[in-house]
Amino acid sequence: MQTVQINGVKREQFGKKGAKDIRRENLIPCVIYGNGGETIHFSVEAAEAKKILYTPKSYIVELNIDGTVMKGVMRETQFHPVKDYCQHIDFYRVVDGKPVSIDVPVAVVGNSEGVKAGGKLKIERRKLTVSGLEENLLDELVIDITELGVGKSINVADLQFEGLTILTPASTPVVSVLATRQSGK
């Protein structure tokens, strides 16, 4: 999985007023927690956070907070309901030798038999939640749909990736080929 470096500064101000003051300086309040480490409150520049916020990809984020480097994954983001700017980011600490759960994008490859017969391809899930060690995490989960016929689907239960456990429920459809009027002839 790709790694992105982001610089942060520890923050001493907490609560609503502290967060407003930080946002006024074009910074985003953040927190990193989990895996037995201490909870650290910090802020990052909004421009620097864009490389992990506005992308369909998932990353291991290497945070440099006042000279201390630690790894994490973005767990939750909060956006302003009207102005649509990021208000807060939560990171979950990544520790060597311990599995981490993360949403990984799905990539569909191949030309489906069902689509050739006139069906319509529908990608039901763009990301799946997986758990695994950092070295086993993939940039994307590649799914071959060549054998997928009309009216058929690939569920999470049909997928296996080495070194990863898929946490998304097994009955969840990922990709399906829907019948159209043309495919019914």
User: Going residue by residue through the chain (185 aa), what tens digit of pLDDT does each one get?
Assistant: 899 999 999 988 888 888 888 888 999 999 999 888 889 999 999 999 998 998 889 999 999 999 999 999 999 999 989 988 899 999 999 998 999 999 999 999 999 999 998 899 999 999 999 999 999 999 999 999 999 999 999 999 999 999 999 999 999 999 999 988 765 54
Instruction: Indicate whether 81 and 128 sit together in one domain.
Output: no
> Per the domain annotation, does 185 fall within a domain?
no
Residue with tokens 């990984």: 104
Q: Say how many domains are in the chain.
A: 2
Q: Which residues contact 4 (CB under 8 A, 6 or more apart)?
A: 51, 52, 59, 60, 61, 62
> Per the domain annotation, does 29 fall within a domain?
yes
Query: Are 122 and 177 within 8 A, CB to CB?
Result: yes
Q: The domain that contains 168 carries what CATH number?
A: 2.170.120.20
Phi, psi of 65 (to 5 degrees): -105, 105
Q: What's the CA gap between 62 and 40, in Å, rounded?
A: 14
Q: What is the pLDDT of residue 84?
A: 86
Instruction: Indicate whether 19 and 45 sit together in one domain.
Output: yes
Instruction: Indicate whether 91 and 112 sit together in one domain.
Output: no
- The verdict on pTM exceeding 0.75 is yes
Residue at which a domain ends, from 95, 126, 159: 95
Q: What is the pLDDT of residue 184?
A: 52
> Per the domain annotation, does 184 fall within a domain?
no
